[in-house]
Every structure is written in C-alpha cells, then in structure tokens.
C-alpha cells in the first residue's frame, strides 16, 4: 500500500538529475540499478565543473592561488565526509579509488603486516567479490585460516554460527553492512562487540549502507569502514577508507611515490602523516570535491528521510512483485531489515534475457551474479535479476517494472 511514508519531494529531486529525463527504446527511462552505480545530481556536476573551469591546479604542491584554492576545497571535502560518517577527525579519512581499492589496501597494509600463519579471518557468505577475493589471496599466500559466517534460510547472518566460529586465533572479521544481492541489513553491533572480545579487528563494507542510511563509525566502533563515492551520487574514481587513527599510523603505506612522503634522500624515504601516507601521487581531488558535494546533497535531504523513502520503496516493490506469477523473491521479505534492493528470478527465464526484455520497455535492472558468485552458489542459483532504488525513484517506477514483467511473460508465453 502506498501512503505518506514517501516523504521525499521526488519531483524536486528528479529535476536535479537530467539523465533521468530521457527515453530508452521509445519509453521513459526507469533506472533501477543504483546499487551498481547511482546517477549524479546537478550540484555534483556543477561543483566538479567549477573546479575544472576556475580552480584547477595540483593540490598540496603549489604556493600560488589556484593550488591553494584547490587544496582548500579538497581538504574541505575530507572534513565533510568525516562529519557525514561521524569520524572523530578528517585525518581518519583516506581517499582511495573505490571500496575495492580500500579493501585491498587493508589486505596489504594491515593484514599482511599484522596477521601471521595460523591466524583466522572471518568473512560472510553475503560478500561482494571485493570483500572476498583479497582475503582468499591473503589466506593462500600467508597460510591464514579463512572462515565463512553462513546465512540462514531467510538470508540473514547466523549469529549462532558466529559464536562457534570466533576463537582466540581470530584476528580479523570483515563483513558487508548491507548485502548488494539480498539487501540484508546486518546489525553490526553484536558482530563488532564479539569480535573485539576475542581481540579481533573489524572491517565494515558500507558500500550499500553509507549512501542509504545514517552510519556513525564512532557509535558502531568499527576499526575500519569502506565505501565508494559513485554509489552515493558522487563521481567514479573516488572511494573512502575510514580507520581508527592509531591503526592507520601503525600500518605501512600501500603505494609509494609523491605526496605520501615527508622527505626522501639517497638513504631512503620518511613517510608522510596519515592520511597522506596512503595517498601516493596526484589524488583524484576533483572527484573528492564532487563527493563532498554529494555529501552536502544527501545531508540536506537527511539520511533518516533517505532510509525511510527507500524502505517504503522496497516494501512497495516486494508487494507488487509478489503479484506476478512465477516471480521468486530472493532474500528477506521484511523491508525493515532490507535495503533498497529487491533481487528475484522469473520461472524458466534467464535473468539476462529478462533484463534485455525489460530494457525494451525502458526499465534498467541488473542481471547476473552481481559480483557475488559464492553467494549465488550458496543459494543454488547461476544468476538473478536485481532492481535497486534510490532517492530519485518513485512508486511509478515499480509499477513500470511490474508492467514490463507482465509484457515479458506474454512475449515468452510464460
């Protein structure tokens, strides 16, 4: 049922996204793939264009006005992002290319430095490849024991299994706050508390949570947290690693070269202070400024309102999709524990074929394994279809998806 739970002014928001005002195959575009990458509002595009037009110069290196202005805006973006996730200081924010690079940075600069053969590392069956493959490589190279927290039949993590898996040899736990496939929202508190009790550090992959709901790293008490800018209205090529400052200071650099050194001579280098120690070379400062503008945009809407809107969208989508014979919804059916993602299959139709048929109706969804093949193996599926929502989606988009599904069924006589 639709009601006043849709609190955002969607018409006003959509006006900020010119890309949505177009047709695909002669039909109005219905974009339902924001879990992969979100669209960008005009304030983000304008902020980046303004830098390129009027304030572009390399940061941290020039004493002239343009460089100082670019550096100031770059530093302001770092401070905005720190405030957005409740970090205690901007120095806890490391800019990376994306969440994948941030996780690889941790695998190399933290895990390879502090874990030793026989130590144990826990991840979950829900993980994106970015939070799966780096740990598999590490386990093989360093004789680390990799364990997996299983999911229940409802698609939520089994905390009972977590208790059995945690041991005195557990050194690292890494998990997704929200699954990019099932949409499952995992309460981080019990995992982080239990992990800390056995002396393990905790990494939270917040790629699907920071863009969609309030996240506070101090309240969460995670040791590290990662997310990507392009999933939260920002540009590609910019991601964020949050880390507790003492841990960042204890880690060696990931990459070496310019800007991550304080001094270098013929005897060797001295590393810069955090976070610059982890930001070798010319940074993606224009993209960081764009991400800062995206944070401003989301902050103006209010993250509780963003979450409320997406929960309402998800509840409506679950209701409407359940009306379509042959549709099987994968994952939790309770929108209170599900992010703005609805993954499903249609009987006897491959998800890739389904996505192609929906595209003919102007409806853009994702089909495949969504960079989570182990989870699909666990579910006994080769691929799934996924519709994901964001601030610019409205109930009419769900209606268009359902109508397109009926047309696909008719075309295939299913």
Residues forming the active site: 371
Per the DSSP assignment, residues forming a β-bridge with 270 are: 263
The candidate with the shortest Cα–Cα distance to 397, out of 406, 387, 410, is 387
Specify the residue for token string 């070798």: 280
Q: CA 31 to CA 147: how far, in whole Å? A: 37
For the record, the structure tokens of 38 come out as: 């979100």
Indicate the DSSP class of residue 123. Answer: E
Q: CB neighbours of 12 closer than 8 A, spacing ≥ 6? A: none
Burial class (CB within 10 angstroms; exposed 0-12, middle 13-18, buried 19+) of 150: middle
Six token digits for residue 402? 């359902």
Edge-to-edge strands, sheet with 239-243? 93-96, 239-243, 224-228, 201-205, 170-176, 120-124, 145-149
Q: Among 124, 130, 189, which Cα is nearest to 152's?
A: 124
Element (H, E) at 14: helix 10-14
**124 DSSP β-pair partners:** 149
Query: Could you give the count of Cα atoms lying within 13 Å of 344 in the half-sphere of its Cβ?
Result: 27
Closest CA to 166 of 152, 145, 186: 145
d(CA 120, CA 149): 13
Helices (H) and strands (E) in the chain, counts: 15, 17
């Amino acid at each position: 049922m639709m009601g006043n739970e849709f609190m955002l002014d969607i018409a006003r928001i959509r006006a900020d996204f010119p890309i949505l005002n177009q047709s695909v195959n002669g039909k109005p575009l219905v974009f339902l793939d924001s879990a992969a990458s979100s669209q960008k509002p005009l304030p983000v595009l304008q902020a980046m264009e303004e830098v390129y037009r009027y304030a572009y110069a390399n940061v941290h290196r020039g004493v002239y006005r343009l460089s100082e202005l670019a550096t100031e805006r770059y530093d302001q973006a770092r401070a905005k992002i720190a405030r957005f996730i409740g970090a205690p200081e901007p120095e806890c924010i490391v800019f990376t290319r994306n969440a994948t690079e941030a996780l690889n940075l941790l695998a190399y600069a933290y895990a390879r430095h502090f874990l030793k053969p026989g130590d144990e590392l826990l991840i979950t069956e829900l993980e994106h490849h970015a939070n799966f493959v780096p740990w598999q490589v590490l386990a093989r190279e360093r004789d680390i024991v990799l364990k997996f927290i299983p999911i229940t039949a409802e698609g939520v993590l089994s905390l009972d299994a977590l208790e059995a898996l945690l041991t005195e040899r557990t050194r690292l736990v890494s998990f997704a706050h929200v699954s990019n496939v099932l949409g499952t929202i995992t309460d981080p508190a019990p995992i982080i508390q239990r992990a800390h009790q056995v002396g393990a550090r905790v990494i939270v992959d917040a790629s699907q949570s920071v863009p969609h709901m309030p996240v506070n790293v101090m309240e969460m008490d995670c040791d590290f947290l990662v997310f990507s800018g392009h999933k939260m209205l920002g540009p590609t090529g910019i991601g964020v690693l949050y880390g507790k400052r003492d841990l960042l200071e204890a880690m060696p650099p990931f990459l070496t070269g310019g800007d991550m050194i304080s001094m270098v001579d013929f005897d060797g280098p001295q590393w810069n202070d955090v976070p610059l120690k982890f930001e070798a070379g010319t940074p993606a400062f224009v993209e960081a400024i764009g991400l800062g503008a995206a944070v401003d945009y989301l902050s103006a809407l209010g993250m509780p309102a963003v979450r409320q809107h997406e929960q309402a969208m998800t509840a409506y989508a679950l209701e409407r999709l359940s009306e379509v014979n042959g549709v099987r919804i994968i994952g939790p059916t309770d929108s209170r524990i599900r992010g703005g993602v609805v993954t499903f299959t249609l009987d006897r139709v491959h998800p890739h074929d389904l996505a192609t048929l929906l595209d003919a109706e102007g409806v853009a969804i994702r089909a495949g394994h969504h960079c989570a093949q182990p989870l699909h193996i666990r579910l006994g599926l080769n691929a799934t279809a996924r519709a994901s929502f964001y601030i610019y989606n409205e109930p009419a988009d769900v209606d268009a998806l359902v109508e397109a599904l009926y047309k696909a069924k008719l075309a295939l006589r299913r």
